[in-house]
Amino acid sequence: MNSPEPRGLTLTQWLVVLVAIIGFAFDTYELLMLPLIAGPALADLLHLPLGHPISRNWLGYIFWGSAVSGGLFGLLGGYLADRFGRKRVLVWSILVYSLSPLAAAFSTSAGMLFFFRCTTFIGVCVEFPAAIAWLAELFPEPKRRERILGWTQAFASVGGLVVTGANALCVQYANSLPAIHGGHAAWRYTLITGLIPGLLLLMLLPLLPESPVWLEKRKQGTLKRPEFWELFQPALRRTTLVTTILFACGFGAAFGTLQLAPAQMVPGLPQVAEATKTRQTIEKQEAPLMKQLAALPPGSPERKTIEAQLAPLRGKKAPAMKQIQQAATKVQFFQEMGGLAGRCLLALLVTVIASRVTLLRMFLVPGVIIVPLVYFYPARTDLELLKWGVFVAGMLTIGQFSFWGNYLPRVYPVHLRGTGESFAANVGGRMIGASAGYVTTNLIAPHLPYQSTFAQVAVGGAIMALFVYALGLLLTFWLPEPEKELTIEN
């Protein structure tokens, strides 16, 4: 029989909960910078108009390449968490994802931005399985563990709201901030804010304990060495394969549809089309001057002449940029509010609905109908309708991510917990699922019969959403239910 659940949390446990809240929130904060800053950043670094096919291709490369990089290293991170401890891996991963956005803010090329977005993803992907295993093992009582995992993960969507607000402030006050590389691009200041949460977490983590379950098994000499091949032994094979593909479906909806809206759909909507056209026209005029400027040494008379020619163009472009970015920020805000609602709904239902399969289907069944419709119609035609559409799409898609944080610790033993979680999250989610962004923008969208690249991406996102939601719903018929009496100490 399970021991009775203690009535209250200790001071240390409250601190653990606080760190988990900050950690989950700012994992999302770091990741969701990209859809907010990608469009303007690539336009600046490539010296091309917003929505240019080359910029669209680079966006696909960054979304896909950074996710695959994160997936590869994240897989190793789960193994290291099982081998050397959850807390140690947490500290190093947080250090990586805190410093990377700071470096990305000073990018001078699209390639440099690409590299540091990859290292940001690596830090977050290494951190996630270690954090889930650590948190689950610190709260062995089943109902308390389910509630804490559900509610702390809900704060991941708060991170999306915070980064949306931070970006809005950076857009509003960019011209008042110190110049970077001679300009006041808002996307650079948004990236710099990524340093703040990591510093806070690194100050708090040394005060907290290692997982007592993992530590005790290591001291007793009963902790087995993790081996990847164990994930595919008969006892775990179906669990590993089905959870990996379902993770890929969830991330496919997020990366191949939801995250493309701010940068690749919103600028084509009628409410901001005039601002987009103005920006594109001015950027075409800027492009030859920017190329000349890049080849000239600092302080030369020729450089000053070109900068003088660019100044009035930048002044005309700034209001259009601000209007586009504000519209994108509004859509991002509604999407993150929907994600928060979905995670809270999961946290409320996780101790009420016993069947994990039924719980997951509550998100997939309505999603297979609603999410494709949102991106097929409002994402091409109406900003106001799109805001409410992405709220629902975010609720149904992002809510699924919290499901896995509760499910995975229950189906893998201690010595394989980080490895199993990282395989599903990183191979399935980051390496396969996140490639949906590249598939939508580079493989589906260019072949659709629409003149605007923005409309092509919107309909491509609808096609991707229909596919991954339908596949996910089908796979739930093979998803194993966790053993009812399985304890986290196993």
Please state, in angstroms and rounded to a whole number, the distance separating the CA atoms of residues 199 and 26.
11
Q: Specify the pLDDT at position 1.
A: 41
> 440 pLDDT exceeds 60?
yes
Per mean pLDDT, which of 22-26, 221-225, 294-298, 333-337 is the most reliable?
333-337
pLDDT, mean of residues 279-299:
78
What is the percent of the chain with per-residue pLDDT over 90, rounded to a whole number? 33
Residue 174 within a domain = yes
Tens of pLDDT, residues 422-433: 899 888 988 888
CA 331 to chain centroid, in Å, comes to: 16
User: pTM (2 decimals)?
Assistant: 0.79
Per mean pLDDT, which of 127-141, 392-406, 455-469 is the most reliable?
455-469
pLDDT, mean of residues 461-473:
97
Residue 215 within a domain = no
pLDDT, mean of residues 148-176:
86
Residue 130 within a domain = yes
Residue 3 within a domain = no
> 299 pLDDT exceeds 80?
no
Domain, as residue range, for 89:
11-205+235-478
Q: Specify the pLDDT at position 395.
A: 96
Which run of H or E residues covers position 321? Answer: helix 301-349
Please state, in angstroms and rounded to a whole number, the distance separating the CA atoms of residues 96 and 98.
6
Evaluate whether 444 touches 256 at the Cβ level (below 8 Å).
Answer: no
Q: Specify the pLDDT at position 2.
A: 47
Residue 224 within a domain = no
* pLDDT-wise least confident of 149-153, 278-282, 303-307: 303-307
> 128 pLDDT exceeds 50?
yes
Number of domains the chain is built from: 1
Per mean pLDDT, which of 298-302, 305-309, 443-447 is the most reliable?
443-447
pLDDT, mean of residues 213-219:
85
Residue 228 within a domain = no
> 365 pLDDT exceeds 90?
yes
| 437 or 464: which leads in pLDDT | 464
pLDDT, mean of residues 183-197:
88
* pLDDT-wise least confident of 87-91, 286-290, 401-405, 446-450: 286-290
Please state, in angstroms and rounded to a whole number, the distance separating the CA atoms of residues 459 and 447.
11
Calculate the average pLDDT of the chain.
Answer: 86
pLDDT, mean of residues 305-320:
84
Q: How far apart are the first and last CA of the chain?
A: 15
The CATH number of residue 98's host domain is 1.20.1250.20
| 27 or 52: which leads in pLDDT | 27
Please state, in angstroms and rounded to a whole number, the distance separating the CA atoms of residues 315 and 487.
62
Please state, in angstroms and rounded to a whole number, the distance separating the CA atoms of residues 455 and 357.
35
pLDDT, mean of residues 191-213:
84
Q: Specify the pLDDT at position 459.
A: 97
Residue 218 within a domain = no
Residue 298 within a domain = yes
